[in-house]
């Protein structure tokens, strides 16, 4: 009877040790995932800042062009293209962030 209890306890200890190792492995994987997500988030944050700056410049340029066209009678309106999605995509590609490129290609597929 004592031998059966000792055997059962030994099996429980071994099972707990296996569970402990599995938990350690899962924790290490989760920590690595957090690090990767942190880096991806930082890259996305930098890209957002650059894109916002680009948008502000474009809006300022449009506003200046609109004001100068309305103030001058000699100015002919020119159909200069504004920032296109392809230019934004080029900016993202030049930043060399694989995550952004994935997101860029995903947005193309979205309706």
For residue range 31-49, list pLDDT tens digits in order. 999 999 999 999 999 999 9
pLDDT for position 2:
74
Q: Mean pLDDT: which of 4-18, 25-39, 50-64, 83-97 is highest?
A: 25-39
pLDDT for position 68:
80
Mean pLDDT calculated for residue range 15-20: 98
pLDDT band for position 72 (cuts 50, 70, 90):
low
What b/e string do you get for 73-95 counting C-beta neighbours within 10 Å, with b at 16 or more? Answer: eeeeeeeeeebeeeebbeebeee
From 99, 109, 86, 82, select the one nearest 46 (Cα to Cα).
99
Q: Please indicate, yes or no, whether the overall pTM of this predicted structure exceeds 0.85.
A: no
């Amino acid at each position: 009877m004592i031998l059966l209890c000792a055997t059962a306890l030994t099996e429980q200890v071994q099972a707990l040790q296996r569970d402990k190792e599995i938990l350690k492995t899962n924790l290490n994987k989760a920590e690595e995932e957090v690090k990767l997500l942190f880096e991806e988030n930082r890259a996305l944050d930098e890209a957002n800042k650059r894109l916002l700056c680009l948008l502000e410049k474009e809006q300022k340029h449009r506003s200046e062009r609109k004001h100068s066209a309305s103030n001058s009678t000699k100015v002919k309106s020119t159909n200069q293209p504004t920032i296109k999605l392809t230019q934004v995509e080029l900016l993202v590609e030049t930043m060399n962030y694989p995550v952004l490129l994935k997101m860029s290609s995903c947005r193309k597929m979205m309706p």
